[in-house]
């Protein structure tokens, strides 16, 4: 590994591209841009590669898109060599994979770890960005690629008294590398989203007592995680390119997509018995496939209610105490409009004697005390508190960096009423800056590795086009950006998604504008449009 360059800008030669982040997006961006003969410097806040899978080491962390889909497709050799052990890979396996990728493609030599990018300033005079880090280093580059992640700014709510707690606190999104032993401990978990739902069953097995503080119940589906057999992997690898092609068209998982054709019927068009039989089959199959049983769960409230009722019925069957079952049932938003969780034994966990469920919507958390959590009803004595309270999603990591054009535009101001982008890739006023899986693209609504690969390849093609045509500058046109934002809002408003107070809407962060952030018009439609824009010599962008 080469010695990381440090110090002020005059010590460092400029590079073509600065990439911020070394998760799935940053690693591939580095590889792809190097392949296209660009010089690249990557900055990563963590001490290793992996992004999400570096930080989220909480017990039970694993992907909810099948491993064979939630992995890079760009290298046939890589996908032939790597063997996933389980249907849904665990965090340690995903982190091993990303380390393998970093080694295999010799990526570490161009990454500076333990380094946070604090600002990026574009100078119109010489068409160069100056990127500054928390180490005081500056590097100048023609382009900046923000591969900073949609779910990488962990958020702990402002509970009064946190600092007085004498036990230990953790956040699922920033879990200690050495792990945590909860044996004989009284543990409180705040939050029942995907992270809480994965961690709770495992913490319950270890802890003396577990108290779960739930504000909004989530719909959770059984993952039915399992080991993958040799036969399965051999068969898969024979057809991997085909599955990947399917993923490119469908955006959710080529292999998983193969198992169920795209639905054409409404849930309201079939009789109860037929619908229930299909729901039962897909519930038993596990994973997210039940969400595609019919075509209209996202747009038709009646269709949506059939599935929501079915899942509530399952909760009633699994959880023995009817009052606890009732508390676990979501009733005030359509299923799927907050991210559905995939779990292993989540609802069963509430049948354990050492687990208590507290409804903090009814009895709110008033403060954290020296000895535990005080709600409006009782004080719960605890040795440890786990915040499974999520992220400042989709915009948090971009806005933590002071991104601005020296001639005026500042991202924080431009986005003060919600993010505004062209295709989720670019922002008017901030030339030569690209976002990977940014707001306004399908991003978190898709298999993110596929979306990341699509964006990285789009960006690499774009930079190559500029170089081949002796162009130095590309910027999203204001009109094209406005049209895209209007279109993205229009399609979101055709769905039930805006009805939920979700992180997709920014609702989990007090004061954050309520705007539906990802693009929900369809992955294939999105990719078609973005490809067309490129084919038409970057239609809607201004090039010079």
CB of 534 to ligand NAP, least distance (A): 28
Q: Is 505 left (phi over 0), alpha (psi -120 to 50) or beta?
A: alpha
Residue in the block written with tokens 């093609």: 461
H/E stretch holding 42: strand 40-43
Q: How far is Cα 172 from Cα 179, in angstroms, rounded to an integer?
A: 11
Among ligand FAD, ligand NAP, none, partner that 46 touches (CB below 5 to 8 angstroms by kind): ligand FAD
Strands of 83-150, DSSP E: 111-112, 117-123, 128-133, 138-146
Q: Which is nearer to ligand NAP, 132 or 197 (CB)?
A: 197
Q: Which is nearer to ligand NAP, 99 or 216 (CB)?
A: 216
Q: How far is CA 1 from CA 4, 18, 21, 256, 506, in A?
A: 8, 18, 18, 38, 40
Give ∠ CA 459-151-406 in degrees, rounded to 5: 55
225 part of the interface to ligand FAD, by CB under 6 A: no
544 closest CA partner among 474, 447, 459:
474
CB of 435 to ligand FAD, least distance (A): 10
Which residues of this chain interact with ligand NAP, rule CB under 6 A?
63-64, 151, 157, 172, 190-196, 198, 215-216, 339, 342, 360, 365, 388-391, 444, 503, 508
Strands of 320-466, DSSP E: 341-343, 355-359, 365-368, 372-375, 379-381, 384-387, 402-405, 433-435
x/- track of binding to ligand FAD for residues 44-73 (CB under 6 A): xxx----xx-x-x----x-xxx----x---
CB of 370 to ligand NAP, least distance (A): 20
Among ligand FAD, ligand NAP, none, partner that 342 touches (CB below 5 to 8 angstroms by kind): ligand NAP
Cβ-defined contacts of 407-415 (< 8 Å, 24+): 407/124
Query: Among 17, 19, 25, 515, which residue interacts with ligand FAD (rule: CB under 6 A)?
Result: 25
414 closest CA partner among 503, 457, 475, 472:
475
Among ligand FAD, ligand NAP, none, partner that 436 touches (CB below 5 to 8 angstroms by kind): ligand FAD
Take residue 15 and report the two structure tokens written for it: 């590079």
Beta-ladder partners of 402: 119
Among ligand NAP, ligand FAD, none, partner that 51 touches (CB below 5 to 8 angstroms by kind): ligand FAD
Q: Which is nearer to ligand NAP, 196 or 431 (CB)?
A: 196
Among ligand NAP, ligand FAD, none, partner that 191 touches (CB below 5 to 8 angstroms by kind): ligand NAP
Among ligand NAP, ligand FAD, none, partner that 389 touches (CB below 5 to 8 angstroms by kind): ligand NAP
Residues in contact with ligand FAD by CB under 6 A are 20-26, 43-46, 51-52, 54, 56, 61, 63-65, 70, 116-117, 147-152, 195, 397, 400-401, 436-437, 447-448, 452
């Amino acid at each position: 590994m080469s010695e990381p360059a440090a110090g002020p800008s005059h010590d460092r030669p400029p590079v073509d591209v600065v990439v911020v982040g070394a998760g799935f997006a940053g690693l591939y961006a580095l590889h792809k841009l190097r392949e296209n003969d660009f010089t690249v410097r990557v900055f990563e806040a963590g001490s290793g590669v992996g992004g999400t899978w570096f930080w989220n080491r909480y017990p039970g962390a694993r992907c909810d898109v099948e491993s064979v889909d939630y992995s890079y497709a760009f290298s046939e050799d890589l996908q032939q060599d790597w063997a996933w052990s389980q249907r849904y890979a665990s965090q340690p396996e995903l982190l091993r994979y990303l380390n393998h990728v970093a080694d295999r493609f010799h990526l570490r030599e161009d990454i500076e770890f333990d380094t946070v990018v604090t600002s990026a300033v574009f100078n119109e005079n010489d068409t160069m960005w100056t990127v500054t880090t928390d180490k005081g280093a500056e590097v100048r580059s023609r382009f900046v690629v923000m591969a900073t992640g949609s779910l990488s700014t962990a958020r702990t709510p402002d509970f009064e008294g946190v600092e007085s707690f004498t036990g230990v606190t953790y956040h699922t999104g920033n879990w200690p590398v050495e792990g945590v032993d909860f044996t004989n401990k009284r543990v409180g978990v705040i939050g029942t989203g995907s992270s809480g739902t994965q961690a709770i069953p495992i913490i319950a097995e270890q802890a003396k007592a577990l108290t779960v503080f739930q504000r909004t119940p989530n719909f959770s589906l059984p993952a039915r995680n399992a080991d993958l057999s040799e036969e399965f992997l051999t068969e898969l690898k024979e057809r991997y390119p085909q599955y990947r092609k399917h993923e490119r068209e469908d955006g959710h998982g080529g292999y998983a997509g193969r198992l169920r054709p795209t639905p054409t019927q409404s849930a309201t068009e079939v009789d109860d018995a037929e619908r229930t039989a299909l729901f039962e089959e897909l519930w038993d199959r596990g994973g997210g496939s039940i969400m595609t049983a019919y075509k209209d769960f996202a747009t038709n409230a009646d269709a949506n209610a059939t599935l929501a009722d079915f899942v509530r019925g399952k909760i009633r069957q699994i959880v023995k105490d009817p009052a606890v079952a009732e508390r676990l049932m979501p009733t005030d938003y359509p299923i799927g409009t907050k991210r559905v969780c995939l779990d292993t034994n989540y609802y069963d966990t509430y049948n354990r004697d050492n687990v208590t469920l507290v409804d903090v919507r009814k009895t709110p958390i008033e403060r954290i005390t020296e000895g535990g959590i005080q709600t409006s009803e009782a004080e719960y004595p605890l040795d440890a508190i786990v915040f499974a309270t999520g992220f400042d999603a989709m915009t948090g990591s971009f806005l933590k960096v002071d991104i601005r054009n020296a001639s005026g535009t500042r991202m924080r101001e431009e986005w003060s009423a919600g993010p505004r982008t062209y295709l989720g890739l670019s922002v008017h006023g901030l030339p030569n800056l690209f976002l990977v899986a940014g707001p306004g693209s399908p991003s978190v609504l898709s298999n993110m590795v596929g979306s990341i690969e699509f964006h990285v390849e789009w960006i690499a093609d774009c930079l190559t086009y500029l170089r081949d045509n002796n162009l130095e500058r590309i910027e999203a046109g204001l009109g094209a950006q406005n049209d895209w934002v209007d279109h993205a809002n229009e399609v979101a408003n055709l769905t039930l998604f805006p009805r939920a107070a979700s992180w997709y809407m920014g609702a989990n962060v007090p004061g954050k504008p309520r705007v539906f952030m990802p693009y929900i018009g369809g992955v294939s439609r999105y990719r078609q449009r973005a490809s067309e824009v490129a084919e038409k010599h970057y239609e809607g962008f201004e090039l010079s």
